[in-house]
Chain A
């Protein structure tokens, strides 16, 4: 008997469930006890609010050029974060830029999670050639440097929000599939799955009602991580000039346009860099916190 099982044994039984509302409250309380999760959540909530309220709170339209500001583009009372080389207000562009990221990233990750879960469940449940096919193709997609893939595909089909979402969904799904497959391979041998088979449940029922609910912990953690990575990718695509078409603000694109002038006007690229970094940090801290919370169970 390991020490851990000793401790598990002496740990008190969990209180009986009192109701869904109390349960949700307790979950929230536990997030509150975990400081990485709290900080992460605060950052993410900040950016979500920024994205939602951008039209209300941003001081200027994101693409408006203030020619007067070109003489002194640094942060000032009129432009809190300064303007870029075309005289556009950086604060406004960052706020509007949050909308792009926070619209595209969750949709893309949700798509990847849905597709990946389906593929992973099928691979893990049916095994055999279905697993072979899904895993092999997934391996290739995963080991292929994504950036090259994006470049080839986006250069071919042009870049639009939809294309970016599709590409990210397709390239991220194999990772989620791999996670779900691993969990499925383990859970499909559990006796409760055998019991379900013995009462004649369909494969779909077993996959979605017996197996998937037990994978939700790792999936939620991974969802946050994946949001972080996707935010990075959207930034990178913008930086490489294969992101959303200009002039709509996009954090990576803002850096691309201005990093050449860094020795003169460093703020132009520093602020958008800080924005994208902080959002990713938020997602990742949230993921760490959630993982710690789920491990404590």
Chain B
């Protein structure tokens, strides 16, 4: 156990350092960018060079990276050029919003896709299986922005029962925050669930062909008991890693949904930072994303271990 965590902690640190350095280097390697950005297109080359020197941008990347790391440890994430506030002030705020969206979506996706995946996979080739497989395929085939447009045109434009934006500000249009969350969550769930359902279904189909399922049936167990008592846990062993990895997507990958619904989340912040070349924010955001991704890796390994006694031993 100790070994396991030691290994993971090490991997986590190495990954964090490696990726953050790559992002840092990528953004700061070409000299002039930062200074040029600061001064605008009409500044002379001399002015740019001067600023670079003043900001210390002419020193090697590694030196500046170490400096950057040092600052990180004091809690200084830098200053966002785009939002004109310290990075720390905006990034955690946005993360909290995204966390809300992610948590709600995750809470819907996991039980729903388990239900659909298990029901579809327990009788391969049945009408229910075909139906669920088709639904999952179709849902996963529609890009988030298209799904957003489709749902919004029905529920916002046509029926008018839901808001088309989710700014989380209670004064916009008088919609409550839960109401604002419905469409973003629906889009995320539909898009993401298709994939998870097919994973669980495939695993379930495989488990149902295992001899131990036959053993259970021939013990005289009823079909529901066989499914719940013998199949489901085995069927979840492989997909659990994938399910955990969805946290990643939910936290850092929902840019599109946030953009469609004007949701003040982490992804949209990153998009704006990228388009504006707001380097401090990009770097901090990338670091957060890597952190989340390493964390979910550990979570998924733990979940895997909890389900499968064979690798605990």
Contacts and interface: CB of A to CB of B under 8 A. Distances in A.
Interface in A141-197: 143-148, 151-156
Interface stretch (A59-67, A78-86, A103-111, A236-244): A236-244
Given A152-B26, A262-B153, A236 B282 contact: no
Contacts of A140: 15, 18-19, 290, 293
B311 to A, nearest CB: 17
B297 interface: yes
Nearest to B262: A260
B152 A262 contact: yes
B248 interface: yes
B164 to A, nearest CB: 7
A156 B256 contact: no
B65 interface: no
B183 to A, nearest CB: 13
A217 interface: no
Interface in A263-297: 263, 266, 269-270, 273-274, 276-277, 280-281, 283-285, 288
Q: What class of interface size applies to chain A in its complex with B?
A: 35 or more
Interface residues of B, number: 54
Identify whether the interface residues of B are mostly helix, strand, loop, or mixed: helix
Contacts of A280: 141-143
Contacts of B293: 140, 143-145
Contacts of A145: 248-249, 251-253, 289, 293
A73 to B, nearest CB: 16
Contact of A148 (B148, B275, B286): B286
B275 A273 contact: no
B259 interface: yes
Identify whether the interface residues of A are mostly helix, strand, loop, or mixed: helix
Contact of A281 (B141, B144, B253): B141
Interface stretch (B44-52, B66-74, B266-274): B266-274
Interface in A225-243: 228, 232, 235-236, 239-242
B145 A236 contact: yes
A228 B196 CA distance: 16
A39 to B, nearest CB: 10
Nearest to B140: A284
A270 to B, nearest CB: 6
A139 B297 contact: yes
A283 to B, nearest CB: 8
A241 B138 contact: no
Contacts of B267: 147-148
A285 B202 CA distance: 16
Given A151-B271, A155-B274, A276-B143, 4 more contacts: A2-B214, A151-B255, A266-B149, A284-B141
21 contacts: A2-B214, A143-B245, A143-B248, A144-B248, A144-B290, A145-B249, A148-B253, A148-B285, A151-B274, A152-B27, A155-B275, A240-B256, A255-B145, A259-B149, A262-B152, A263-B156, A270-B153, A280-B141, A281-B141, A284-B141, A288-B137
